[in-house]
Amino acid sequence: MQLVQQRSARIITIESAMQRYTGARANSNTIKQLTEADLAQLNLSSTEILGLQTSLAVMHALQEQIDRVEAVLESYCRAGPAFRLLKSTAGIGEVLATVILLETGNIARFAGAGNYVSYCRCVGSAHLSNGKKKGSGNTRNGNRYLAWAYVEAANFAVRYCEPARKFYQRKKAKRNGIVAIKAVAHKLARACYHMLRTREVFSVGQALQIPRGYQKSYLYNQCHRITQQRYSESGQKT
């Protein structure tokens, strides 16, 4: 993740510099396809072109290292059954599944789902006395990479999975958007813990505690069908 963050920083540097020099804005996909010859053709001074070419060379070097790491990860963890299980979860793709697997390690080291969710920073941290809040605990205690992964997964799940979107909207109506996304991330983290423990495919109804009457609806069946299809397709690829 550090390599990806550094590459993103280089892309932003090139993007802002080109906008400052030329007045035109280029998106990240355009910058990734640039070459030193393309920069040399710009109507800029030699020092400005040199600065852009230097940042571009660093970006390409970082991308080369990222490709090498991803090739190793593909053979290390993406061929196992746990990777297929995580990919069946709403909102989790190849990158997030890889991060979750590597940062979680052996799932048996967590005594229960609550311990794992707490390690993922997906629970609140408050000191209570007689039902009243007297302070907060260490909110940074836990794994920040798992916290990021599950929040990202929650955002994708809300966008593409209708039951997750309904759950998010109910929580948002009671509190706010940030708390609602964290609630979805909490549900996904608990679901992934049980999946890695029991080796069962992701279930939308169990993860989001959807009432049985709603589980028979078209939207639930459609999302469940997509989950099963993703699991089957990942098995064929491996």
pLDDT tens digit string along 68-124?
988 888 777 877 888 888 888 888 888 899 899 989 989 999 999 989 999 998 887
Same-domain check for residues 48 and 100: no
**Residue 64 structural domain:** 2-75
Q: Domain boundary residue among 75, 95, 128?
A: 75
pLDDT of 124: 78
- Integer-rounded Cα radius of gyration of the chain: 22
148-198 pLDDT, tens digit per residue, is 999 999 999 999 888 888 889 999 999 899 999 999 999 999 999 988 998
- Nearest CA-CA partner of 149 in 192, 96, 195: 96
Q: Over pLDDT 70: what percentage of the chain? A: 82
For residues 213 and 210, give the distance between their C-alpha atoms in angstroms, rounded to a whole number.
Answer: 8
Q: Are residues 85 and 43 in the same domain?
A: no
10 and 25 belong to one structural domain: yes
pLDDT of residue 13: 92
What pTM did the predictor assign? 0.71
* Same domain membership, residue 107 and residue 37: no
